[in-house]
Structure 1
Amino acid sequence: MSCDSSAPPLLAALVRHYDELVDLLRRRFGADRGFARDVVHDVCVSLLAEPPRQPVAAPVAYLRRATVNLAIDRHRVETARGAWVESAGELPEPADEAPGHDRHIDAGRELDRLSEAIALLPPRCQQVFVLHKIHEMPQAEVAIRLGISRKAVEKHIRLGMMACRTALDRPAAAPPR
């Protein structure tokens, strides 16, 4: 690296002591030359981007401290990243999110019990329940469509929900009531 006389004193010191700073990092951290050079280059970029606000009395000592501090930060980040990667390698395989065959069978049985419970409801109750719960029609709209009060709609929905809960609570092998 070369430096002209108009360079700020800190950057001129960095250029003059570049190899010394690289060797310092290699000795202190047992790092390869590439890591040490990257750190020294980053210190240089940092000084160019944001030079110290006050003159530095001991530029070489300042540069040594800056490169060591940055190397420590880098080392911590890389160590943490390595630990994360190692721990991620020990994670169990994700469970298959697709339901298994047994769950499909159970779900089919539950659906059969619900369908049977709805089919056993009185006709008006069944009609209100299906319009509201299956077709997602608002209660007020069900009341208008069927010409009944909102209270009657609420009552039929409540009866339908109770029938469904009862159907799901009884064992699958039990015959319907």
Structure 2
Amino acid sequence: MQFDPVKPSLLAALVRHYDELVEHVRRRFGDHGFAREVIHDLCVQLLEKHEKDGVRSPLALLRKVAHDNAITRYRSERRRQAWVVAVPELPEVDSGAPTQERHYGAVQTLEHLTEAIASLPPRCQMVFVMHKLHELPQSEVAERLGISLKTVEKHLRLGMAACRAKLGYEVAL
């Protein structure tokens, strides 16, 4: 954006009188950081909107708009603060994400199950993995491995017993 030096621009006036405008808002609202935020918002507002021609007193207009923006911002902050004070303790909301303890426990359980499955005899291990992990029906496992359905059931019982034992559950065969 280029400034026309002959025609006074609101944005040029804001740049030229920046410190004065900040001080104007600070005197009325008491906070230097708040005043700077209001003037920065005003600058963005001027950059986003098409400037009107024929402004006779740009500084006066900028003071008025800055003051109005400060009042709006101040009221908004007060409403937010009132809500925060009215609700001193936010309700606990479960994020659904596991806590660190649950995550650590799940990792340990997985390690124990992996060890239990690895300790199974090869054929038993194949049956267990095909049925429990790959979710193949028992009849398909029996067909693929060329064993009876009873043998598949026996290997699954042994695999489950090994997993329960590794996790410390009672084993009933």
TM-score normalised to the size of structure 2?
0.46
